[in-house]
Amino acid sequence: MMNKRWRLTMLSVLSFIAFIGIAGITNLFPALSVPSGIPPIEDAATTSCDSRSTMPRHFQIIGKADTVHWGYFSKSQPPILSVHSQDYVTLDLITHHAGDDYERMIQGDSGIESIYRWTETEQGISNRGPGVHILTGPVYICDAEPGDLLEVRILDLQPKPSGNPNYSGKTYGSNAAAWWGFHYKNLAQEPNPREVITIYEIDNTGERNWAKAIYSYRWTPQTTPDGKQHATIDYPGIIVDHSTVEETPNVLEGVKVPLRLHIGAMGVAPKEADIVNSIPPGYFGGNIDNRHTGVGTSMYYPVAVPGALFSAGDAHAAQGDSELDGTAIETSLVGTFQFVLHKQADLVGTMLEGVNYPLLETPDAWIVHGFTYANYLEALGPDAQTKIFEVSSLDPALQDCSTKLRDFLMNGMNLTEDEAYSLITVGGDFAITQVVDGNWGVHGIIPKAMFEDRPVKPRPISS
């Protein structure tokens, strides 16, 4: 009897784990609990590269005007924190679309208020652009040097509750169907063109695993405190004056959007330019906008500058492959990460040797990222940061992605080129990551289960 009960219990547990693990795309029970096994948070002021604790430590960074930078990755940005390999960091990831509904997404949260603060006489962050994302960081990874690989494990993502007590238990997000969207020149109805903001509500008590739209409005010209008028969404952090827009209530009534909490933009500082627009992704990661970049995954980044200089932002409650209209459900999340540094010398002979692009590992798969240009900063010369927005296409992105996947399999799984191409074709999937970020993306997915019975290269030792 006991034995039978035990077997049943195990079957329940294993099936349930398998269910959660494989559900992925339409996960009905996303992990919303605080992860266990992570050390308690210590004072960030106590860490430096000079001394390393015997045990990994855990620090937290609250999102506020002096912990974020807005619109760029930069090798010159002063770090807000230095950590060692194996350390944990909990970061606020503050959405750059919070101004679409100040009351729900800014008001009452002093950190977010400090970021968005803008009056005729002062501005919390006046240095915005050339991109749009509010990025928390950078975090300096001690001992990281060009040629190393930085593994960033996403251990937890939680919706950041609205700071406004009127919206207790709720988190809000905005989807902007904007001028940079793929759909923008393909509107059937008037007015044409138009930009549309749809505000979504997320329950942050863990009771509901889907988002619902609550209202939408069409963008009207907005005037910022500097007196400039913005006929379109052409500047980051505009606070929309809701007396100028007409809210359409009850949009998408009865429609449930499955939550897919993930991070749109995170990465390390590129070496090619001092200020790099946060919008186009590249070898350094950045705004990849891959909806698989969620809890339980690790992204590997090639370190380009000393200390790596990791930053993250652009949190998403949900997004489909392509990010068609220009944005996800842009929201604020709290993320917990572990950084693991793989030194260049330790990569030799391992599965990760030669990885010079952002590589995502999920519990079930390896996901390789291709772009129109693998490194647009290098390929397009001095004007790269403007040119990239004129030349994007999915065809070269698939070329880049399939080449990377071939090379990954040839090295990591010890395949010949003939074997690699055959396997990619019959067992690998290519999806459209995004077509709205300048350097368009395609990701290639190769299931780990295919290699269970094959001797493959080892993983690297971590420092």
Of 243-272, which residues contact a copy of itself (CB under 8 A)?
248, 251-258
Is residue 461 involved in binding a copy of itself (CB under 8 A)?
no
Question: Which residue in 317, 315, 293, 289 sits closest to 213, CA to CA?
Answer: 317
Among 111, 124, 296, 326, binds a copy of itself (CB under 8 A): 326
Q: Measured in Å, how far apart are the chain's first and last C-alpha atoms? A: 49
Q: Minimum CB separation from a copy of itself for residue 50, in Å?
A: 45
Q: Do residues 94 and 112 touch, judged by C-beta distance below 8 A?
A: yes
Q: Please, which residue, 163 or 447, has the CB nearer to a copy of itself?
A: 447
Q: Which is nearer to a copy of itself, 235 or 451 (CB)?
A: 451
Grouping H, G, I as helix, E, B as strand and the rest as coil, residue 223 is strand
Asked if 155 is part of the footprint of a copy of itself (rule: CB under 8 A), the reply reads: no
Q: Determine which residue in the list 102, 179, 182, 389 makes contact with a copy of itself, applying CB under 8 A.
A: 182
Radius of gyration of the chain (CA): 22
CB of 222 to a copy of itself, least distance (A): 19
Q: Rule CB under 8 A: choose which of 450, 457, 462, 463 binds a copy of itself.
A: 450
Helix (H) or strand (E) holding 2: helix 2-23
Q: Which is nearer to a copy of itself, 66 or 395 (by Cβ)?
A: 395
For residue 265, give the nearest of 335, 218, 341 by alpha carbon. 335
CB closer to a copy of itself, 41 vs 456: 456
Q: Does 208 bind a copy of itself (CB under 8 A)?
A: no
Nearest residue (CB) to a copy of itself, 336 versus 372: 372
Q: Tell me which residues in 56-85 interact with a copy of itself (CB under 8 A).
A: none
With CB under 8 A as the rule, give the number of residues binding a copy of itself.
89
What residues are paired with 230 via a beta bridge?
222
Please list every residue from 211 through 250 that binds a copy of itself, using CB under 8 A.
Answer: 211, 213, 216, 218, 248
Phi-psi region of 108 (alpha: psi -120 to 50; beta: other; left: phi over 0): left
User: Are the CB atoms for 316 and 260 separated by under 8 Å?
Assistant: yes
Decide whether 90 or 372 has the Cβ nearer to a copy of itself.
Answer: 372
Minimum gap (Å) between residue 177 Cβ and a copy of itself: 5
What is the CA angle 326-330-132, rounded to 5?
65
Comparison of 87 and 437: residue with beta carbon closer to a copy of itself = 437
Which of 337, 323, 354 has the alpha carbon at shortest distance from 267?
Answer: 337
**CA 408 to CA 390: how far, in whole Å?**
30
The piece of 30-38, 100-108, 133-141, 318-326 that touches a copy of itself (CB under 8 A) is: 318-326
Nearer of residues 124 and 326 to a copy of itself, judged by Cβ = 326
| Candidate residues 22, 231, 345, 461; the one interacting with a copy of itself per rule CB under 8 A | 22
Whether residue 100 contacts residue 245, with contact meaning beta carbons closer than 8 Å, is answered with no
Is residue 327 part of the contact set for a copy of itself (CB under 8 A)?
yes
φ/ψ (deg, to 5) at 460: -75, 155
d(C-alpha 366, C-alpha 340), whole Å: 18
In angstroms, give the least distance from the CB of 453 to a copy of itself: 4
**Binders of a copy of itself in range 339-368 (CB under 8 A):** 364
Subset of residues 365 to 424 that bind a copy of itself, contact rule: CB under 8 A: 393-395, 398-399, 402-403, 406-407, 413, 415-419, 421-424
Which is nearer to a copy of itself, 155 or 329 (by Cβ)? Answer: 329
Residues 6+ apart with CB under 8 A from 383: none
Say how far apart CA 276 and CA 269 lie, in whole Å: 8
Note whether 452 binds a copy of itself by CB under 8 A.
yes
Tokens of 193: 């063109």
Q: How far apart are CA 236 and CA 97, in angstroms?
A: 8
